[in-house]
Structure 1
Amino acid sequence: MLNFYRRIKQREKSYVAYRDYMIIVTILGTGIRRGEIINLQWSDVDFINKSISVFGKGRRKETIPITDKLAKELGGISNFL
């Protein structure tokens, strides 16, 4: 499935293709829930400490570590925007 979205991203080079690819990569890389990724903002991503802050169940703020690869992918998409 990831390869499918990667090919679409490379072929179409549109906002929707990048968005869908990054949603899949972020969910697979962190395990966050659908509602958490919907409410995610750029200010929640900490590239220095390589973590993402999300509001989990019960509106508790949780800090989730991200891998170097995911941080690189997110950094690349921020340049696209």
Structure 2
Amino acid sequence: MQRHVSADQLKAWEEFPWKTTEQGASTSVLLAASPLVDGVTGRYFEDNNEALPRGDSEYSGVAAYALDPESATRLWDASEELLAQ
């Protein structure tokens, strides 16, 4: 995706550490293939670890609304309703 980003935008993003393709895929591969996470569901992961609730950073961790059971129920109900149409 970086090939579609201007040089100016890349310069502005220099404060963020970039991952290699392998680093970017490692969490997905872990969750798809590792016996360490057998039976683990409904959790958020980042950088090969379960993600913690988001603190001051907007770029890591899990947002509070994503952990809210009431929001999850509303999303599930809305999804079922849309699929039934």
TM-score by length of 1: 0.25
| Structure (1/2) with the larger strand percentage | 1
Q: Which has the higher contact order (CA 8 A, sep 6+)?
A: 1
TM-score by length of 2: 0.25
